[in-house]
């Protein structure tokens, strides 16, 4: 199959998906067709009135004003009603277009909420944003033009043909024979522009992703003096986008002048044959004027439709990217909606295997049994699978084989919500949203009282800095904490856990951004919090996990050592080497 044939097949599939969204607004489409038909009828009726008026102008000084006046009044009323119908059609088309785009955006956003984290990890955030915002906007523009001009264009062509046939069938034949040439020209060019518009959308998404990355990590860019490299990379993407835009715009712009040239030939042919007919007495001057007006109106929709085809190619290319997102497989649904309630924290992993990329194995045959209330520390070199174990426990990812159980039940058989609500997480990377300090602390318990919030903040040692803020707990912070320091943001995340008091805890370098003095206090608070709660602690600073009941030493996705701090030190193995390397003098 040729590249052009593939693009045609792809655009037809996309068009079918668009029509499924449009179908529910059939009533409004019907009204749009009615108003389009009325506006076309009015537009075509006016030349007849004007033609009759011209026939009443016989010669200089011999004009039948009594006959012309009512004709002009009728033309004015018809023009006003036509304008009203065109306005109504525009309102209806706008309504349908933006409702369709709203529905597509809603489905795209819902899909983002349902996508497995693996998809989000593999695709730049900016590209996903570009699909939902920029591509949807481009699609809306093309769809609106299609609604506005396609209906009226087709009806105008049909209507003018009927009227021209009633005036003179032979001149009409000249028009009908010549006009398909413009369609062939438009079709030839449009076939080749779909892939260009698709490349344009993809490059625009790449550019949005790069801009999003640079803005979100501006401190890192400046810290490593990468401004020039970032600018060079942006210029390179921008140059490719410019080339894609120029190619798509140049080839699509060929349609209109090409069809206009053909249509001008049609108009000239009608004028020539009409003049000959008028000289021979077979056509009045008014009828010739009417015929020329119809010939112009007949060819005009071909120009508009050719432009619509070009815009639709762009719109369908953009829509295809949005539908690619919507049609991505959702995360595996909860099987039987079993709810995890009242857990004591009995967790086990049996022959668990997992890898982010199939050809690169990470965790293999991982076995672990955690008794209720135990504190389990996970240590090891970077990339050994520590955070991956946390992702599997929270079911951000599913194991490829084996199983993970809580209270003896496979976590795949329970709802994700009930599983995750049983865990409290504090990560090295903080999770804060735009809103007040109080809203960020109560994220897991929205109905918490002020006393509960303050108690949790005091337990996490966040209360003192919160009170120094301009509005205390009602201080509004920006996305990801705004101007708060990394340590303050982490204290808010810890306060969130102190408020919820979940039965199980996951602490992944939870105190990494906190000063040593505050860390000692937080460790004491955590020690109280972890009493009677199953806790998983990922740590690089081994001094923070000396009191753990079980320390798992991981390497290359496997547990190579297991025991408490003293036992592992006496063993003199990999853990002892790691520990001594941190405290060597």
Q: Tell me: the pLDDT tens digits for 250-282?
A: 877 777 677 777 777 777 777 777 777 777 666
Does the reported pTM lie above 0.75? no
In the β-sheet with 534-538, what is the strand arrangement from edge to edge? 423-426, 504-508, 534-538, 375-379, 550-555, 558-563
- 522: phi then psi, degrees, rounded to nearest 5: -65, -40
Q: Do 514 and 487 touch, CB atoms closer than 8 A?
A: yes
Low-confidence ranges of the chain (pLDDT < 50): 1, 4, 585
| pLDDT (0 to 100) of residue 25 | 85
Report the pLDDT value the prediction gives residue 81, as an integer from 0 to 100: 92
Count of other CB atoms within 10 angstroms of residue 479: 10
Q: Which residues of 94-118 are buried (b: 16+ CB within 10 A; e: fewer)?
A: eebbeebbeebbebbeebbeebbee
Question: Which pLDDT belongs to residue 26?
Answer: 84
How many residues make up the chain in this entry?
585
Cα–Cα distance for residue pair 111/329, rounded to 1 Å: 9
Q: Check residue 585 and give its pLDDT.
A: 44
Q: Say what the pLDDT of residue 584 is.
A: 54
- Quick one: which of 205, 200, 195 has its CA closest to 123? 205
CATH of domain 3-326: 1.20.1560.10
Q: How is the chain split into domains, by residue range?
A: 3-326
């Amino acid at each position: 199959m040729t590249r052009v044939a593939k693009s045609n097949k792809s655009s037809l599939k996309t068009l079918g998906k668009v029509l499924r969204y449009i179908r529910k607004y059939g009533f409004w489409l019907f009204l749009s067709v009615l108003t389009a038909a009325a506006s076309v009828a009015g537009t075509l009726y006016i030349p007849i009135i004007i033609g009759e008026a011209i026939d009443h102008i016989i010669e200089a000084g011999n004009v039948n004003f009594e006959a012309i006046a009512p004709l002009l009044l009728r033309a004015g009323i018809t023009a006003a009603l036509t304008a009203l119908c065109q306005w109504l059609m525009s309102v209806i088309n706008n309504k349908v277009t933006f409702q369709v785009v709203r529905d597509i955006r809603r489905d795209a956003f819902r899909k983002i909420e349902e996508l497995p984290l693996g998809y989000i990890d593999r695709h730049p955030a900016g590209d996903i944003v570009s699909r939902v915002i920029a591509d949807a906007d481009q699609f809306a523009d093309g769809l609106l033009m299609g609604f506005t001009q396609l209906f009226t264009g087709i009806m105008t062509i049909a209507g003018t043909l009927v009227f021209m046939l009633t005036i003179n069938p032979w001149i009409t034949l000249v028009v009908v024979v010549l006009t398909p040439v413009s369609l062939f020209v438009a079709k030839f060019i449009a076939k080749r522009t779909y892939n260009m518009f698709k490349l344009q959308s993809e490059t625009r998404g790449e550019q949005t992703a790069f801009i999003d990355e640079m803005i979100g990590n501006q401190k890192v860019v400046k810290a490593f003096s990468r401004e020039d490299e970032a600018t060079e990379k942006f210029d390179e993407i921008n140059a490719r986008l410019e080339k894609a835009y120029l190619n798509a715009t140049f080839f699509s712009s060929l349609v209109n002048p090409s069809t206009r040239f053909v249509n001008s030939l049609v108009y000239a042919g009608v004028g020539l044959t009409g003049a000959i007919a008028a000289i021979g007495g077979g056509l009045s001057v008014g009828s010739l004027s009417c015929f020329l007006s119809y010939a112009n109106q007949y060819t005009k929709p071909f120009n508009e439709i050719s432009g619509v085809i070009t815009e639709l190619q762009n719109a369908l290319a953009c829509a295809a990217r949005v539908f690619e997102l919507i049609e991505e497989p959702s995360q595996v649904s909860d099987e039987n909606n079993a709810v995890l309630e009242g857990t004591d924290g009995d967790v086990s992993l049996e022959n668990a295997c997992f890898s982010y990329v199939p050809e690169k194995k990470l965790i293999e045959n991982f076995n672990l049994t955690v008794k209720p209330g135990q504190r389990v520390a996970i240590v090891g070199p970077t990339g050994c699978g520590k955070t991956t174990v946390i992702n599997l426990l929270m079911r951000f990812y599913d194991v490829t084989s084996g199983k993970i159980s809580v209270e003896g039940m496979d976590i795949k058989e329970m709802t994700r919500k009930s599983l995750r609500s049983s865990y409290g997480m504090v990560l090295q990377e903080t999770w804060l949203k735009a809103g007040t300090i109080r809203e960020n602390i109560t994220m897991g318990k929205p109905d918490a009282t002020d006393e509960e919030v303050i108690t949790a903040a005091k337990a996490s040692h966040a209360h003192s800095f919160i009170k120094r803020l301009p509005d205390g707990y009602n201080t509004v912070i920006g996305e990801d904490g705004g101007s708060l320091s990394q340590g303050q943001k982490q204290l808010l995340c810890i306060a969130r856990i102190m408020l919820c008091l979940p039965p199980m805890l996951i602490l992944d370098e939870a105190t990494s951004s906190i000063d040593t003095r505050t860390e000692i206090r937080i460790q004491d608070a955590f020690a109280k919090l972890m009493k009677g709660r199953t806790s998983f602690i990922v740590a690089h600073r081994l001094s923070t996990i000396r009191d753990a009941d079980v320390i798992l030493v991981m390497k290359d996705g496997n547990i190579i050592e297991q025991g408490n701090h003293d036992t592992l030190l006496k063993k003199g193995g990999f853990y002892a080497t790691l520990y001594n390397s941190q405290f060597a003098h």
